[in-house]
Structure 1
Amino acid sequence: DDKTLKLWDLETATEISTLTGHNHWVRGVAIAPDGQKAVSASDDKTLKLWDLETATEISTLTGHNHWVRGVAITPDGQKAVSASADHTLKLWDLHTAKEISTFTGESYIYCCAVSPDGLTIAAGESSGRVHFLRLEGGSENE
């Protein structure tokens, strides 16, 4: 809730760096499969892409109009998915920091995950509904 992310050395349990840039609570973080980048989700309605090697912000992803509560990165590290209280799930291109597509649910979307094969997104709503969306083809199953 201090608006920061902390990078830790797990072997020594010491802090390596503090990432600052959000202006509200940080609610989620996902680390790219190569361990070089991370994406954070915040109540400031943004996501931020971070370079973990240099502990610097690469870009800010904007497009939600309410809290961003969850984030996941695809297994290839090329895209991110964000879940928001604005009832939307957004797919982002991490190279361009641009929104690719938006799915609108019936209530707050609090969490999201990407399947290990990178083809399916799962999203949970506050209503209790869970959506499964195909990244290729755009079909949805509930």
Structure 2
Amino acid sequence: MIIALVPDKTLRIWDVSTGYCVKTIRGHADWVRDVCPSPDGRYLLSAGNDQTARLWDISLANPESKLTLVGHEHTIECCALAPPSTYQHLAPLAGLKKPPPASSTAEFMATGSRDKSIRIWDARGNCIKTLPGHDNWVRALVFHPGGKYLLSVSDDKTLRCWDLTQEGKCVKTLGDVHGHFVSCLRWAPGIVREPVSNGNAEGTNGTSINGIAKPGAVGADIQIRCVIATGSVDLNVRIFAN
């Protein structure tokens, strides 16, 4: 499936195999700026010029808005669904004694706005944390796969790292990562690590890794790669690695 954002304020879901639009989602009062699907494909988070973010259940024939997030004072440029690995760190901010089950895929969300702030929300629509610090529009967000950090980039040309184990404290700022506005951010996909069968192994990307078998064996886990990529109005893509 492909999700398209169109100027008529709708979201459209397309079936790649047929090329047909299979669902049209209406609800935003202005252009939609960003979307983030849940890993299981059931939910879709969207955000836009109407200063709201909305959580949709797209498993239904007629997708329904399950939640509307209101609080930003300007256009919401980006949104992200928190992975289950963050739940243990975000649950205390939401006043929960224990984290939600990992099987639940839309318990916490983050949004970034032209009001220069980042907000973290719970599944009831409450803003549980506001992260100030950027000096210009927040353009993109991504959660660390291990759940400890949230990364953001902005028109202030910085990349910031927020520690979710410290209630969202900004623990690292990289200044002037580009010569112009930083518009997008991605975390490198993990490498599937498999049980060793014969001492020779490969990761899912085809690169040989000592002590890892080919994907497909039972017992695989994911090796997180500390590699991120940023894109900018300066026409460059930059890759950062730890």
TM-score by length of 2: 0.56
Q: Structure 2 residue aligned with 1:51, among 37, 57, 79?
A: 57
Within 5 A, what are the aligned runs for 1:55-94? Answer: 55-76=63-84, 77=105, 78-93=107-122
Name structure 1 gaps, 5 residues minimum.
none
Within 5 A, what are the aligned runs for 1:1-142? Answer: 1-54=7-60, 55-76=63-84, 77=105, 78-93=107-122, 95-104=123-132, 105-137=134-166, 138-140=168-170, 141-142=172-173
SS of the counterpart of 2:165?
coil
Greater shift after overlay, 117-126 or 38-47?
A: 117-126
**Misfit runs of 4+, over 3 Å:** none
Q: What is the total number of aligned residue pairs between the two structures?
A: 141
Per-residue deviation, 1:132? 0.6
Q: Measure the CA separation in 2 of the matches of 1:36 and 1:44.
A: 24
Structure number with the higher helix fraction is: 2
| CA offset digits 1:3-56 (Å, max 9, x no partner) | 111112222221111000001110000001111001101010000000001211
Amino acid at match of 2:151: A
Amino acid at match of 1:66: H
Q: Measure the CA separation in 2 of the matches of 1:29 and 1:118.
A: 20
Amino acid at match of 1:88: S
Greater shift after overlay, 131-140 or 37-46?
A: 131-140
Rg larger for: 2
% of aligned pairs identical?
29
Amino acid at match of 2:38: A
Per-residue deviation, 1:79? 1.1
Name structure 2 gaps, 5 residues minimum.
1-6, 85-104, 174-242
Instruction: State the partner residue of 2:206.
Output: none
Q: Measure the CA separation in 2 of the matches of 1:75 and 1:112.
A: 13
Q: Measure the CA separation in 2 of the matches of 1:30 and 1:118.
A: 17
Q: Measure the CA separation in 2 of the matches of 1:79 and 1:10.
A: 29
RMSD over aligned Cα, in angstroms? 1.1
Per-residue deviation, 1:97? 1.3
Greater shift after overlay, 58-67 or 76-85?
A: 76-85
Larger relative contact order (C-alpha < 8 A, sep ≥ 6)?
A: 1
Amino acid at match of 2:139: Y
Q: Measure the CA separation in 2 of the matches of 1:58 and 1:135.
A: 25
TM-score by length of 1: 0.94
